[in-house]
Structure 1
């Protein structure tokens, strides 16, 4: 048996994001000290940008091909995505394809989440869940979200989190997270760039509640182009500009979710579960 771990993130092309992912890498290596760790970026656009700068990155398929060539027999692929959306679906599909697409099974673990195991080219592949996979994940992430609020925020300030969003059914997990957070703190709002709850839906709520100061944080794994440009940018359509134009003081906080230990712990626990399914005991 030769086990390995493949960490699969959407990807990013700036220094802060890469430093953040390195810190996550270190925590995984500490938790699974005897298991080699590899990386893949699921975004083709990010991989192309990095390739143009002569920085080599792998897709999930290519990373698994390399691991197969290196004679790995058991691989846990851990998603660093936020929701079980299209990126996560593609991640599962690539893992199934690399396993040959044979003897695949879908089965619910005890908490009602979904995992799959595929056996063929590798002896076994398991895929770890994204951050907001189960109802228990949502509750735990809501507490983590509140723990990540700026220390200088007062009871009179709002905090708005910007996620990516999608028209995939997995987008509903953002709504679940929003409901869970607002039961704990009504001054915290969650919106997404795409999907059913954008800044156009969040702004009227902020004005209705009469907030004068708003902290703006990314609901993204790392600080990449979306956080820097679409959230905190100076152009008129950025979330920062939209909130400021509505008459509120807007204070962006450029920290990704992987920079907060409480979120990292959720992903690593999911990897721990994937390793347990892979090897039959805790990794």
Structure 2
């Protein structure tokens, strides 16, 4: 994507974000007492039971920060939700996986989750994105929240919400409300333990991000630069889809002079992509391709959400939004 298209995309997102968050919804003076509050955590999701801990770790931290507020999970991925919906009627699968929380087994789209809360009397709802950056899934989330906020009733007191707000992803988003470069800096600091681990191994730190084939993923390059500037150490980020791809990452990795690689997912969960595209045994898995390129590779299947420092990024974004 050209710089012009990137700026245009960012500007469009920024404008949408302002529309979502700037104007306060109809005030509660039409009602008796304050509106009931609730929080929705909107994640891409995962179908891997062993990868759920990353999302549940973030949820636990949010619940600790807001002990008196209901916190609900929602998955934005249609494919992931369909898998969980099929498991709802699979008694054999449930018997083999008895530790799956009911809220995950019956997880819904953010739209349905928000609607359920509104139906139960919650009219002050905050949706906190659990995405890494403002990509395709977050763009659609902005559109969803903006559409719900545009609802106007003949009598203001009948409006479905007194307030409906959306919190930015971990690495921020375009716009003047909060400089995204500050979020990138905070994200880099949250990953200090990964750099320390790589240093002890004398290995380059390589992350696999998801990316997108038709949505700018330049944020990964900015994050890589921030990591290198912060720690003065070879850190590289490549994407399954879009830029920087594996070849671009490999060229930079070779130039670093390192012979060992610590390979981790740059995703909230260590699910399908991490298990197969990154750490799998097929010829196109990153572990295999890096090994063939002459590197000694150590993989770690750990989602970003399992790191307390990364989970705190979402808690902090939520607190900033609630304070407005």
Give TM-score, length-normalised by structure 1. 0.87
Tell me the equivalent position of 2:219. 173
* 1:129 pairs with 2:168: yes
Residue number in structure 1 paired with 2:60: 26
In structure 2, what is the equivalent of residue 60 of structure 1?
110
Q: How well do the aligned residues superpose, as a CA RMSD in angstroms? A: 1.9
- Which piece of structure 1 moves more, 59-68 or 18-27? 18-27
Q: Deviation digits for residues 130-173 of structure 1, max 9, x if unmatched? A: 01111100011112223334636437311101111124555221
Cα distance in structure 1, aligned partners of 2:62 and 2:134: 21
Equivalent residue of 1:8, what SS?
strand
Q: 1:48: which partner in 2? A: 82
Distance in 2 between the 1:150 and 1:244 partners? 22
1:195-234 aligned within 5 A: 195-234=242-281
Question: Structure 1 98/202 Cα, relative in aligned 2: closer, same or farther at 3 Å?
Answer: same
Q: In the alignment, what sits opposite 1:280?
A: none
Give the structure with the higher percent helix. Answer: 2
Unaligned runs of 5+ in 1: 104-118, 278-283
Show CA shifts across 1:37-80 (max 9, x none): 11100000100111121132100111011011101010000000
Q: After the TM superposition, which residues 117-266 of structure 1 pair with which residues of structure 2 at under 5 Å, given as runs?
A: 120-133=159-172, 134-149=180-195, 151=197, 153-154=199-200, 156-167=202-213, 171-183=217-229, 184-266=231-313
**CA separation in 1, counterparts of 2:296 and 2:232?**
20
Aligned length: 262
Could you tell me the TM-score, scaled by structure 2's length?
Answer: 0.76
Separation in structure 2 between the aligned mates of residue 92 and residue 166 of structure 1, nearest angstrom: 18
Give the Cα–Cα distance (whole angstroms) in 2 for the partners of residues 152 and 185 of structure 1.
12
Structure 2 gaps of 5+ residues are: 1-34, 89-104, 173-179
**Residues of 2 paired with 1:120 and 1:136: CA distance?**
36
Q: Is the 8 A contact 1:65 1:98 kept in 2?
A: no
2:38·2:70 contact (CA, 8 Å) conserved in 1?
yes
In structure 2, distance between residues paired with 1:31 and 1:170: 33
2:46 matches 1:12: yes
